[in-house]
Amino acid sequence: MKIVLLHGMWSRPDTLDSVRKVLEQKGHEVFAPTLPFHVLNKPPDPALGNYRLIDYVEFLKQEIRNKGWDKPTLIGHSMGGWLAQALAAEGFASRIVLFAPAAPAGIFPLGPSSLYTLLEVPFHWKFWGKPFKPTYRGANFGLFNRVPKDKRKEYYASLNYESGRALFELAFWFFDPLKGSKIPAEKVNCPVLVLAGEKDRIIPIRVTKAVARRYENSEFVPLPNHAHWLTDEPGNEKIFEIMFNWLKQNS
C-alpha cells in the first residue's frame, strides 16, 4: 500500500517516525513530505506567518503528483489530519486515517483546555500573520500531557515554528471571512478512521467525534488514557494495531 504521512503543526516528518517504522515493517511504501518552512532550530522565515491552509494543500497535491501516486492512503496527525480531509475532498485519497485531527470550519474547535494551551498566542499583536510556536507551559499542558514527564523537554525541543495564519483559520474560523478551513463533507467519499485520545486537551474529543460524524463512511475510535501526541504515548502499539486492522478491512 502506498501511504503518505502528513505531519501537524510545529512538526516535521520525523514527528511521525514511530508510525512510519511500523508501516514499513508491514511492507508499506511510505512518503512523508515536509511542509514549507518547517525547519528546526532556525529563525523562522517571515513568509511562514502568512501561509494559508490552502497553500499547504496545494504543496501536498504537487508532492503527490511528483511521486506519481494515484489516490494513496493518507495518514495525518492534528493539522495533518485536517490536510488529509482536504486532500480527500479533492480526490487525492483512497482512504484516510486521522490521529487527533483538527476540525474543518463549522465545528467549534475550542474549549477551556485548548484555550489554556494557546493562552499566550493571541496576546501577540497580529499573531495571525506571524510565525509562532507554543510556550513550554502550553505544550507541556496541551500536547504532551500523556507523554512520560522525563521526555517532555526533549519533545518540546523538537517543535518548530508554525504559520499564525494557519492557526487562525483552524482555531478561529468563525472570524475568518474566507473560511480557509472549510471542507465540503459530501466530497470526502473514501473510508475515514478517526482516532482520538479521551485526554486530549488541545483538540477535545468532542471535536474529533464531530469530525467523524461529518462523513458517511467513517469509524470513530476513542482511546482512554491517551491524549494528543497519540503516536508516541505509552500504549501506542495498541493504537497501531487498530490502524492496521482497519487498513486491512478497507484495502
List pLDDT tens digits, range 119-175. 887 666 678 889 999 999 999 999 999 999 999 999 999 999 999 999 999 999 999
- Side by side, which strands form the sheet with 218-223? 29-31, 2-6, 73-77, 95-99, 192-197, 218-223
What does the alpha-carbon distance between residue 53 and residue 167 come to, in Å, rounded to a whole number? 9
Using a 10 angstrom Cβ sphere, with 0-12 exposed, 13-18 middle and 19 or more buried, the burial of residue 112 is exposed
Q: Which DSSP symbol is given to 79? A: H
Question: For all residues of the chain together, what is the average pLDDT?
Answer: 95
Q: Which amino acid is at 102?
A: A
Domain of residue 28 covers: 2-250
Phi, psi of 227 (to 5 degrees): -130, -135
Contact at 8 Å (CB) between 84 and 73? no
DSSP labels for 147-177? S-GGGHHHHHHT---EEHHHHHHHH-GGG-T
Here the cell at position 17 is 517516525
pLDDT over 90, % of the chain = 92
Q: Render pLDDT for 95-116 as a digit per residue (tens, 0 to 9).
A: 999 999 999 999 999 999 999 9
Task: Give pLDDT, residue 41.
Answer: 84
- CA dihedral (137, 13, 128, 106) in degrees, to 10, reads -100
The cell for 105 is 470550519
CATH number of the domain within which 90 lies: 3.40.50.1820
Total number of domains constituting the chain: 1
Residue 42 has pLDDT above 90, yes or no: no
CA distances from 175 to 122, 132, 171, 222, 239 (A): 13, 19, 9, 30, 35
The model's pLDDT over 211-251, given as tens digits with 9 standing for 90+, comes to: 999 999 999 999 999 999 999 999 999 999 999 999 999 98
How confident is the model at residue 125, as a pLDDT?
A: 62
DSSP β-bridge partners for residue 96: 74, 192
> What DSSP string runs through 6-61?
E--TT--GGGGHHHHHHHHHTT-EEE-PPPTT--TTSPPPGGGGG--HHHHHHHHH
- The whole-angstrom separation of Cα 62 and Cα 60 is 5
Number of Cβ within 10 Å of residue 87's Cβ equals 25
Whole-number percent of the chain with pLDDT over 70: 98
